[in-house]
Amino acid sequence: MITAIFIYDFKGDVLISKIYKDEIKRNIADVFRIQVINQVSLGRSLTREHRTPVLTLGSTSFIYTKLGNVWLCAVTRSNQDCATVLEFLYKLEALLGAVLWEENKKAKVKQDKLTLLDTSIVNQFLLCYNILGEVCDLGYPINLDMEYVKKYVPGMKDADSGGIFKNIQLRKSFTPSKAVMAAGSSFDAGAGSSTPSAHENITWRSANIKYRRNEIFVHVEEKLNVLFNSQGELLRSYVDGAIQLKTHLSGMPQCRFGFNPSTILLSDTDPDTDSKDNVVKLEDAKFHQCVQLSAFDSDRSIQFIPPDGDFQMMSYNCRHNINIPFRIYTQVREVGERIYYKIKVRSFFSPKTSSSNIIVKIPTPGGASLQSLSVSGGKAKFHPDENAFIWRLNKFYGDTEHSINAEVAIQPLSSSYTQWNRPSITLDFELDTYSSSGLAVRFLKIQEKANYKTVKWVRYKTRSGSYETRY
């Protein structure tokens, strides 16, 4: 989204430059200085284009704001959401103003509101530069909360002590919207009390949420990728999984989410557990910022205070002990100018479960003509334009088998046949109440001081990614 950020002084000199993507050269900073800052410094009346906070030249846009005697400019390429970038700049202004509050006091600057000074930025160059690197990841804004940035930027632990966040007089200078902008920091509503709220560090949720019906929905969604050889042997398999939550909960609920005891993270693995067949080994696990993993090692549970609405609690990969729901058995014979297909698909899950939206695509050589076609279930059709049979089944129950028999005529000496390299047979499906990785939700507990009852829903779903069989 954001290609680069430049911070200028009132003369147009670059104080800090942070380039996130190699789409521009550093000398592009001169364009903004000439087109905007110089026009203002010379006292010339700006055109309508320059009166707006966005300057677009070709495919490059300069989105800017000014606080004190400092200009903040974000450079973007192509078509980006300017409103989002402006919101980011306003919050970045507030964050830098709060961090440099004490530095401004050292410069004996009288300040009754947030401001930015070029001298303060120069004196705290390394701190400001590290902040720019932390609040934006590869050009995408992430988190400008003061408490979050403190954890990852050295030198910020005492940046606000005795300063803006404890100065009662400044509370009157901020409207509620400005307080929200001020790096996500919370100001106490009491006139004489500066005691922070118990949940001031929870920026992803408001404390005054109320619902008549309290519900939480857990969706374990996995995408299965497999590759079989022509003998039906498994060559490669892995799962891309995610746990999506939808929460309609009142107050500030403490949630505990527990997996089956055989679940381990990659960092917890050892040779003994790797050899067990029932181990669910999760790799590359990424968690939402609300998750606390302190209790995972003891009872395989995850603690968190969830955001309101939809969010992804975690994502993971799995490459071991994967459950394969379908196998494809192929018999393809070339006899003279004919090719005979006999394809069987067998399911390996509970007979009480059914898969839906099954599509099997069987490639044929270019220029082939259909001679015969029959299936034991579903419907199949030959598509000459796609050079393939498309076999569709609405339902496929567990522990069952379906087959397709077909015959096509070919031209053996044609270039389309001689260059045919037998592309893999592909399978698409959706399977509810099934987890290919073996991951299972063992419990889900909700605790809140109101002690209300919660309706809980858990759903598993596996769908095909790259599901291929060679022949």
How many Cα atoms within 13 Å fall on the side-chain side of residue 114?
A: 24
Q: Are residues 305 and 400 in the same domain?
A: no
Q: Are residues 443 and 422 in the same domain?
A: no
Residue in 242, 439, 183, 216 with CA at minimum distance from that of residue 306: 216
Mean pLDDT (whole number) for 165-186:
34
Residue in 320, 361, 358 with CA at minimum distance from that of residue 343: 361
Q: Are residues 421 and 332 in the same domain?
A: yes
Q: Are residues 443 and 303 in the same domain?
A: yes
Q: Are residues 342 and 405 in the same domain?
A: yes
- Domain harbouring 62, CATH code: 3.30.450.60
Q: Are residues 282 and 398 in the same domain?
A: no
Residue 105 in tokens:
């006091």
> How many Å apart are CA 205 and CA 37, to the nearest integer?
39
Q: Are residues 8 and 133 in the same domain?
A: yes
Whether 270 shows a pLDDT value over 50: the answer reads no
Whether 155 shows a pLDDT value over 70: the answer reads yes
Whether 171 shows a pLDDT value over 70: the answer reads no
**Helices (runs of H) and strands (runs of E) counted in the chain:** 12, 25
pLDDT-derived band at 266 (thresholds 50, 70, 90) equals low
- Is residue 339, in this structure, part of any structural domain at all? yes
- Is residue 190, in this structure, part of any structural domain at all? no
- Is residue 18, in this structure, part of any structural domain at all? yes
Q: Are residues 401 and 297 in the same domain?
A: no
Whether 274 shows a pLDDT value over 60: the answer reads no
Q: What is the enclosing helix (H) or strand (E) of 150?
A: helix 146-152
Are 387 and 368 in contact, with CB atoms under 8 Å apart? Answer: yes
Whether 167 shows a pLDDT value over 60: the answer reads no
Q: How many domains does the chain have?
A: 3
- Is residue 176, in this structure, part of any structural domain at all? no
> How does pLDDT run across 16-75, given as a tens digit for each residue?
998 988 888 888 888 888 888 887 766 655 554 456 788 888 888 999 998 888 999 999
Domain enclosing residue 252, as ranges = 215-323+434-469
Long-range contacts, 151-157 (Cβ 8 Å, 24+): 153/127, 154/130, 155/126, 155/127, 155/130, 156/99, 156/127, 156/131
Alpha-carbon distances of 334 from 228, 373, 422, rounded to whole Å: 21, 16, 12
Q: Are residues 35 and 119 in the same domain?
A: yes
Whether 271 shows a pLDDT value over 70: the answer reads no
> How does pLDDT run across 344-377, given as a tens digit for each residue?
999 999 999 999 999 999 999 988 899 999 999 9
Sheet holding 369-375, edge to edge: 326-335, 338-347, 401-409, 369-375
pTM: 0.59
Mean pLDDT (whole number) for 149-163:
62
Last residue of a domain, one of 111, 136, 152: 152
Of 35-39, 93-97, 177-181, the range with the lowest mean pLDDT is: 177-181
Last residue of a domain, one of 152, 173, 190: 152
- Is residue 184, in this structure, part of any structural domain at all? no
- Is residue 159, in this structure, part of any structural domain at all? no
Alpha-carbon distances of 39 from 32, 45, 62, rounded to whole Å: 10, 8, 15
Q: Give 264's strand partners.
A: 281
Q: Are residues 231 and 341 in the same domain?
A: no
Q: Are residues 33 and 146 in the same domain?
A: yes
β strands within 266-337, DSSP E: 280-287, 291-292, 301-304, 309-318, 326-335
- Is residue 69, in this structure, part of any structural domain at all? yes
Q: Are residues 25 and 137 in the same domain?
A: yes
Residue 239 in tokens:
């799962």
- Is residue 204, in this structure, part of any structural domain at all? no
pLDDT-derived band at 199 (thresholds 50, 70, 90) equals low
Last residue of a domain, one of 104, 132, 152: 152
- Domain harbouring 393, CATH code: 2.60.40.1170
